């Protein structure tokens, strides 16, 4: 019989992490009669939904049917596997796409504030062949506007015991493949053991942990706007009791992002990234690596091509190079930055450089000067001829009017590729098989489980919501097939 140190009955389920997967798991479990304890190390629930765009994807929704869009989970599965180049986990992808339409319909029925352009084909990631990406007017907060009232109501009714500022420091085993409960560090710094019939790890990934990221991602450096609470704590606690990790070899960087002026790994928020999607803003600039050489067609409509090319560049860095004439004529490269912001950046920010000639620009930016001079000259020749070795097609203007500008960018990440290995029931896998009562969902199972070595639109948030709901129902003994959601 399980127990707890404060004398109250033990929870039926402990959910560690109150984000995209943890919130719906807690809501469903509580609404179906389970005693639920939710452990969250931050001072509020919501996880990355406070900062992410929260793109969703589903094939065969009511909204698609109303708009005359013919789609299905089968077509969604085929597209997701195509985009991932068959590197995503087919079993989990199939499970996710089967549940996705019911999840999106559930959000819509709960008055999700959907953007009027959705569903659509978006190009920030490699595009689907059918409009099946959805998003809220207020990004991730639109999802929270659906989840939080139900979660807070369950907390007020006593069905959910929420513990903020509380960190799970360990999982406690009860036999070879069973978990007895968790060890928690409370806000006052003390530790306590909490028993539970089941534990769900929805702790997110490790994209806020600059030391752990390369250790779990084969040396790739962490650069991105990840949450500081994305520490990988849940993954580490599970591996301490024998859980397996997979996806370490499936890292692919997002193409671009500028560091904060005082950080070696944290970038500006996603909304403040440079506009580098050719379908939205054809490039006027060139992109060069540390050697001053170009490495890809900047206007390639395949973001996967650009991201894969960046993966081969030293330190996953590149510089956007342009001149004064382009600055004046082109659409804004950094559309959310004011003129004052940019002037201050070129004066003081270490990722921004400006100079009167190309050689001086290279010195200021930390690029090889001879390489950059030769590259700019070759590009200007390509502007005249209308073609280059990379197959670029958009040549609006040469680079020749001083001053010259360079903006350093990085291969960035918001989500972690590696995560806990799980089976079709989302039970965590160890060397001796699945744990009987330890489950994982969301980014704790790794972004590569759904996207492989790529980025598949909507295949982070939607599976997290779906799998959270599925686990909450499963542990309550309720049906959890797609039609019952």
| pTM, to two decimals | 0.93
Average pLDDT of 6-26?
90
**pLDDT of amino acid 10:** 85
Q: What is the CATH code for 254-412?
A: 3.90.700.10
Q: Assess whether pLDDT exceeds 50 at residue 371.
A: yes
Q: How much is the pLDDT for 228?
A: 85
Angle among Cα 138, 142, 143 to the nearest 5 degrees reads: 145
The pLDDT confidence band at residue 5, using thresholds 50, 70 and 90, is very low
User: Domain coordinates of the chain in residue numbers?
Assistant: 13-208+416-484, 254-412
- How much of the chain, in percent, has pLDDT values that exceed 70? 97
pLDDT band at 4; cut points 50, 70, 90: very low
CATH class of the domain comprising 13-208+416-484: alpha beta
Q: How confident is the model at residue 481 (pLDDT cuts 50, 70, 90)?
A: low
Strand partners, 243: 430
Residue 158 binned pLDDT confidence (cut-offs 50, 70, 90): very high
Above 90 in pLDDT, residue 417? Answer: yes
What confidence score (pLDDT) does residue 7 get?
Answer: 54
- Residue 71 contacts residue 64 (beta carbons within 8 Å): yes
pLDDT of 72 strictly over 50: yes
Q: What is the pLDDT of residues 428-474, one digit of tens each?
A: 999 899 999 999 999 999 999 999 999 999 999 999 999 999 999 99
Over the chain, what is the mean pLDDT?
95
- Give the model confidence (pLDDT) of 265-314 as tens digits: 999 998 999 999 999 999 999 999 999 999 999 999 999 999 999 999 99
Polymer length in residues for the chain: 485
Alpha-carbon distance 420 to 66, whole Å?
Answer: 38
Per-residue confidence (pLDDT) for residue 480, from 0 to 100: 62
Q: What pLDDT does 175 receive?
A: 81
Residue 478 has a pLDDT of: 80
The 10s digit of each residue's pLDDT in 112-136 is 999 999 999 999 889 999 999 999 9
Phi, psi of 383 (to 5 degrees): -60, -40
Q: Which residue has the higher pLDDT, 485 or 436?
A: 436
| Contact assessment for residue 308 and residue 215, using Cβ atoms and an 8 Å cutoff | no
Q: What is the mean pLDDT of residues 193-216?
A: 96
Strand partners of residue 438: 199
Residue 384 CA to residue 430 CA, distance in Å, equals: 60
């Amino acid at each position: 019989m399980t127990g707890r140190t404060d004398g109250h009955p033990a929870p039926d389920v402990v959910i560690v992490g109150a984000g995209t997967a943890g919130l719906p798991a807690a809501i469903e479990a509580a609404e179906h009669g389970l005693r639920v304890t939710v452990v969250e190390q931050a001072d509020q629930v919501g996880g990355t939904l406070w900062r992410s765009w929260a793109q969703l994807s589903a094939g065969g929704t009511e909204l698609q049917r109303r708009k005359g869009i013919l789609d299905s989970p089968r077509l969604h599965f085929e597209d997701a596997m195509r985009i991932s180049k068959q590197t995503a986990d087919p079993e989990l992808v199939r499970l996710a796409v089967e549940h996705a339409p019911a999840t999106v319909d559930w959000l819509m029925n709960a008055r999700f504030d959907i953007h009027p352009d959705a569903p659509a084909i978006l190009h920030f990631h490699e595009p689907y062949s059918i409009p099946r990406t959805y998003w809220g007017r207020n990004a991730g907060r639109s999802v929270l506007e659906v989840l939080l009232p139900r979660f807070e109501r369950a907390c007020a009714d006593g069905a959910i015991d929420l513990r903020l500022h509380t960190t799970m420091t360990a999982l406690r085993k009860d036999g070879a493949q069973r978990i007895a409960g968790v060890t928690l560090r409370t806000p006052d710094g003390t530790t306590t053991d909490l028993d539970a019939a089941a534990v769900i790890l929805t702790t997110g990934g490790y994209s806020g942990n600059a030391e752990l990221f390369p250790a779990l991602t084969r040396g790739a450096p962490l650069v991105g706007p990840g949450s500081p609470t994305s520490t990988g704590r849940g993954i580490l606690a599970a591996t301490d009791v024998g859980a397996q990790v997979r996806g370490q070899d499936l890292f692919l960087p997002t193409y671009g992002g500028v560091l904060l002026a005082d950080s070696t790994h944290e970038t500006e928020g996603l909304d403040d990234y440079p506009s580098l999607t050719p379908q939205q803003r054809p490039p006027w600039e060139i992109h060069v690596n540390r050697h001053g050489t170009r490495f890809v067609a900047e206007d390639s409509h395949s973001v996967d091509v650009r991201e894969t090319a960046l993966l081969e560049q030293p330190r996953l860095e590149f510089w956007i190079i342009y001149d004064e004439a382009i600055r004046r004529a082109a659409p804004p490269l950094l559309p959310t930055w004011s003129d004052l912001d940019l002037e201050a950046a070129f004066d003081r920010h270490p990722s921004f450089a400006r100079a009167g000639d190309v050689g001086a620009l290279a010195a200021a930016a930390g690029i090889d000067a001879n390489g950059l001079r030769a590259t700019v000259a070759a590009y200007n020749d390509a502007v005249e001829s209308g073609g280059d070795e990379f197959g670029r097609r958009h040549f609006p203007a040469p680079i020749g009017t001083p001053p010259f500008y360079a903006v350093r960018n990085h291969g960035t990440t918001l989500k972690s590729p590696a995560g806990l290995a799980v089976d079709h029931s989302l039970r965590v896998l160890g060397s001796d098989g699945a744990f009987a009562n330890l489950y994982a969902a969301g980014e704790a199972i790794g972004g590569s489980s759904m996207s492989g070595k790529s980025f598949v639109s909507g295949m982070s948030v939607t599976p997290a919501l779906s799998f959270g709901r599925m686990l909450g129902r499963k542990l309550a003994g309720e049906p959890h097939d797609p039609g019952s959601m």
